[in-house]
Amino acid sequence: MQLPDRQNLVVDLLADVGRSGWLSPHLLSQAAVLLVVLLLAWCGNTYLKPRLGLENSRWRAGGEGLLRIFFPLNALVLLFVGGYLLRLAYPERHSLLAIASVLLLAMVNIRVLVYMLRHVFNGAQWVRRGERYIAAGIWVLYVLHVVGILPEVAEALDAISFTMGKGRISVLLVLQGLLSVAATLLIALWIARMIERRLMRAELIDMNVRVVLVKLLQTGLVVLAVIIALPLVGIDLTVLSVFGGALGVGLGFGLQKIASNYVSGFIILIDRSIKIGDLVNVDNRLGVITSITSRYVVLKSADGTEALIPNDTLVTSTVVNQSYREKQVWTKVPVSVAYESDLDLVMQLLVDIAGKHPRIMSDPPPRAYVELFGASGVDMSVGFWLKDPENGQLSLRSEINQQIWVAFREHGISIPFNRLDVVHFRPNQRQAGDGNLQGLLQPE
């Protein structure tokens, strides 16, 4: 964020007013130029916004950012042109236009920064809550420059310092370093997000390959941003070797699990054992993979709950991937019928009911089975291949069972149930003899 070199702009404006008054041709001409510039910028923004057609445009992200800053940026450019033309007639300083240019530059910086934060962090709540504070901080910085206090504040911050080794570190240097790193990181993440959107739309590339490329790109751009930012404020990159050694020790102890999850995430993406959209069963959880991050995998179950499974768990434990080779899943619906039922008719009804359902595959066709001769009836089932297991099986089973119930009632097929007959006995008088208990209880 580069501030103009000019300072004490308010003092300059008051000096011009004191010398020639508010209604002098010099000040009135500046006010007229400023008014015309703002009017032209507003008209241009109003005319251009509905005609860009960003809904179906490939450069939608860049277009949205351009629209956010178009008014102040256009006004700033027009103000420079107007000031140049006005300087031909009035060679004196234009303090009013100088103040207006600083304020417009502040507006441009605020809108660009807010747009990039929203774009990089995907509209996070903390970004929306912090927009006011970000804007207030930038406005304060530019106001300090306008009133000429910013150099004094910078000198005061630079005076607060300490020595580390052979170098001198001040509060101003630390703030400049933080701002430089934050700015370069934000730009790097913004570029990574732009490229990510392009890559994720490239359907010719495998999904896992796209995710790997995006993560490598993000990591590389972040490292590059730090390498670029630190020398800008005079920090020697050799200092990072000390932190690199400390980081290695941390990875060996406290950060070992985090590093393991990070590496496991790349292993999962590279070997393509698990992909987004797969139906998997891991750690007694059945669901669909909706996202693969650097640390965990998001597993969404049929009831809508989402579990965050660490990548290390997926690599070191057994995972049942029902979509590894094929997406289809075989399942069955059990049913019992009475012994007097026509089993051939029952099997035909079960096959017909399953074959008519739109979620069940016709090739291979459904099949009915006689599984067991139970205590109350014959246990049977109908097995079939499900086209879309990611949509759940409970609703499908419910629909199949309802149709079985209707078909059985139409054909007079009964479903057996356990029946318990209770016989009541009354105690008889105690009898002596050889211990025969049969005479102790007599039916009532």
Domain edges within the chain: 9-148, 275-321, 329-410
User: What SS3 string covers the chain?
Assistant: CCCCCCCCHHHHHHHHHHHHCCCCHHHHHHHHHHHHHHHHHHHHHHHHHHHCCCCCCCCHHHHHHHHHHHHHHHHHHHHHHHHHHHHHHCCCCCHHHHHHHHHHHHHHHHHHHHHHHHHHCCCCHHHHHHHHHHHHHHHHHHHHHHCCCHHHHHHHHHHCEEEECCEEEEHHHHHHHHHHHHHHHHHHHHHHHHHHHHHHCCCCCCHHHHHHHHHHHHHHHHHHHHHHHHHHCCCCHHHHHHHHHHHHHHHHCCCHHHHHHHHHHHHHHHHCCCCCCCEEEECCEEEEEEEECCCEEEEECCCCCEEEEEHHHHHHCCCEECCCCCCCEEEEEEEEECCCCCHHHHHHHHHHHHHCCCCECCCCCCEEEEEEECCCCEEEEEEEEECCHHHCCHHHHHHHHHHHHHHHHHCCCCCCCCCCCCCCEEECCCCCCCCCCHHHEEEC
pLDDT attached to residue 272: 77
Q: 12 to each of 5, 90, 102, 162, how far by Cα in Å?
A: 14, 16, 14, 37
Q: 428 to each of 240, 424, 433, how far by Cα in Å?
A: 98, 13, 15
Using the structure block, give the residue that is written with the tokens 């430089």.
180
pLDDT attached to residue 408: 92
pLDDT attached to residue 271: 76
pLDDT attached to residue 434: 46
pLDDT attached to residue 236: 64
Spatial distance between the Cα atoms of 288 and 186, rounded to a whole number of angstroms? 33
Indicate the CATH number for domain 329-410: 3.30.70.100
Would you say domain 275-321 falls under CATH 2.30.30.60? yes
Q: Please report the sign of the dihedral spanned by the C-alpha atoms of residue 142, residue 143, residue 146, residue 148.
A: negative
Prediction pTM value: 0.55
pLDDT attached to residue 167: 65
Spatial distance between the Cα atoms of 275 and 393, rounded to a whole number of angstroms? 21
pLDDT attached to residue 439: 47
Spatial distance between the Cα atoms of 300 and 390, rounded to a whole number of angstroms? 9
pLDDT attached to residue 279: 83
* Mean pLDDT per 10-residue section of the chain, whose length is 444 residues: 52 69 75 86 76 54 64 85 79 77 86 82 77 85 80 82 71 82 85 81 72 80 80 66 64 70 81 81 85 85 84 86 75 91 92 90 90 88 86 85 92 81 61 46 46
